[in-house]
């Protein structure tokens, strides 16, 4: 088809029939994307069979609730994160903890604890992990009463809620910082993450010659009054997938050292009988100011019934 002919079809299908446009922003996006796809179909000479295979794929991805995974795996979530970075830079923001993508596995309303929490329910035989640190302002002031939401997978690589074999909110807690702005929690060292092996996302990655692995990591939301909500993750340092990452989420400064504690005294002091891992990580959310770009991303998130 010629360019002119394509422009004509596009004009026909994007014409309004009622004379009013209730959602101009939606219309602008849909018109643009439809036009871009017409061009892609033309230039790639996409056959009707291929087009309908793609439609069927999208339906399956929706049914499996994997659009969040696909958004991460195709780099859209990282791209959006980089665009937020650019907007922050232009607004003169600098010096806080780097943010990175949220990913799909957050579940709202995890139990809240003050100062410290245990995230695992005791049934996971994984290595014990202690994580602790402080929430501070960019000027060093400690932030008491900040909320640190943490979530991660078990030693098999699965998130509670999505994995119904785990107890409710296993490995998910909200910790309010103490008077010195400190938080700490006990958990187990998470395994790496892999996309569900039989799911639509992994099927697509297979066809692209890609794996669906992520390094072991812990997700965080950090919220403090007067501060911008921080969405970030720390990786377990040394993981083989640190820099080969299906969701492109690794950023400098987010792989703190893991200290392996083998000293019998230290082990006994924690009431344990085997060596454990320890990570120290401080969070520095940026102060909120008028006319900054929004820090909080709104998306429909899962919620336990």
Residue numbers at the binding site for ligand MBD (CB under 6 A): 69, 72, 101, 103-105, 193, 214, 247, 249
Q: Which stretch binds Fe ion (CB under 5 A): 6-14, 54-62, 66-74, 98-106?
A: 98-106
User: 114: how many CB neighbours lie within 10 A of its CB?
Assistant: 12
How do beta strands 172-176 and 147-151 pair? antiparallel
Which tokens hold the place of 77? 């979530």
Q: Which residue is nearest to Fe ion (CB)?
A: 103
Identify the three-state secondary structure at position 149: strand
Q: Alpha-carbon distance 298 to 290, whole Å?
A: 19
**Identity of the residue, 103 or 181, whose beta carbon is nearer to ligand MBD in the bound complex:** 103
Q: Which stretch binds Fe ion (CB under 5 A): 10-18, 52-60, 96-104, 114-122?
A: 96-104
For the bound state, the minimum distance from the C-beta of residue 51 to Fe ion, rounded and expressed in Å, comes to 33
Partner from ligand MBD, Fe ion, none contacting 247, C-beta within 5 to 8 A by type = ligand MBD
Q: With contact defined as beta carbons under 8 Å apart, do 130 and 278 qualify?
A: yes
**Identity of the residue, 77 or 120, whose beta carbon is nearer to ligand MBD in the bound complex:** 77
Which tokens hold the place of 167? 């107890």
Partner from ligand MBD, Fe ion, none contacting 69, C-beta within 5 to 8 A by type = ligand MBD
For the bound state, the minimum distance from the C-beta of residue 223 to ligand MBD, rounded and expressed in Å, comes to 19
Partner from ligand MBD, Fe ion, none contacting 277, C-beta within 5 to 8 A by type = none
Q: Alpha-carbon distance 285 to 125, whole Å?
A: 34
Q: With contact defined as beta carbons under 8 Å apart, do 137 and 143 qualify?
A: yes
For the bound state, the minimum distance from the C-beta of residue 27 to ligand MBD, rounded and expressed in Å, comes to 31
| Location of structure tokens 């806080």 | 96
Identify the three-state secondary structure at position 196: coil
Contact between 103 and Fe ion per CB under 5 A: yes
For the bound state, the minimum distance from the C-beta of residue 101 to ligand MBD, rounded and expressed in Å, comes to 5
Q: With contact defined as beta carbons under 8 Å apart, do 293 and 87 qualify?
A: yes
**Identity of the residue, 234 or 249, whose beta carbon is nearer to ligand MBD in the bound complex:** 249
């Amino acid at each position: 088809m010629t360019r002119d002919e394509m422009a004509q079809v596009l004009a026909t299908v994007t014409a309004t029939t009622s004379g009013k446009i209730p959602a101009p922003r939606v219309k602008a996006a849909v018109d643009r994307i439809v036009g871009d796809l017409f061009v892609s179909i033309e230039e790639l000479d996409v056959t009707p069979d291929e087009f309908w295979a793609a439609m069927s794929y999208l339906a399956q991805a929706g049914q499996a609730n994997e659009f969040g995974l696909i958004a991460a795996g195709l780099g859209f979530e990282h791209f959006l994160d980089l665009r937020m970075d650019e907007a922050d830079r232009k607004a003169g923001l600098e010096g806080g903890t780097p943010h990175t993508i949220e990913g799909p596995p957050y579940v709202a309303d995890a139990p809240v604890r003050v100062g410290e929490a245990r995230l695992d329910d005791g049934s996971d035989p994984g290595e014990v992990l202690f994580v602790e640190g402080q929430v501070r302002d960019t000027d060093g002031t400690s932030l008491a009463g900040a909320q640190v939401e943490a979530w991660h997978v078990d030693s098999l690589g699965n998130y509670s809620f999505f994995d119904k074999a785990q107890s409710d909110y296993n490995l998910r807690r909200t910790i309010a910082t103490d008077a010195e702005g400190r938080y700490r929690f006990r958990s187990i060292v998470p395994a790496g993450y892999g996309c569900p092996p039989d799911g639509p996302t992994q099927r697509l990655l297979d066809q692209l010659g890609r794996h669906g692995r992520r390094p072991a990591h812990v997700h965080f939301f950090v919220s403090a009054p007067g501060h911008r909500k921080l969405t970030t993750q720390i990786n377990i340092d040394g993981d083989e997938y640190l820099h080969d990452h299906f969701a492109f989420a690794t950023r400098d400064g987010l792989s703190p050292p893991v200290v392996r504690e083998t000293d019998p005294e230290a082990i006994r002091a924690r009431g344990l009988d085997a060596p454990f891992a320890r990570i120290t990580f401080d969070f520095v959310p940026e102060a909120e100011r008028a006319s900054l770009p929004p820090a909080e991303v709104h998306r429909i998130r899962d919620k336990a019934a």
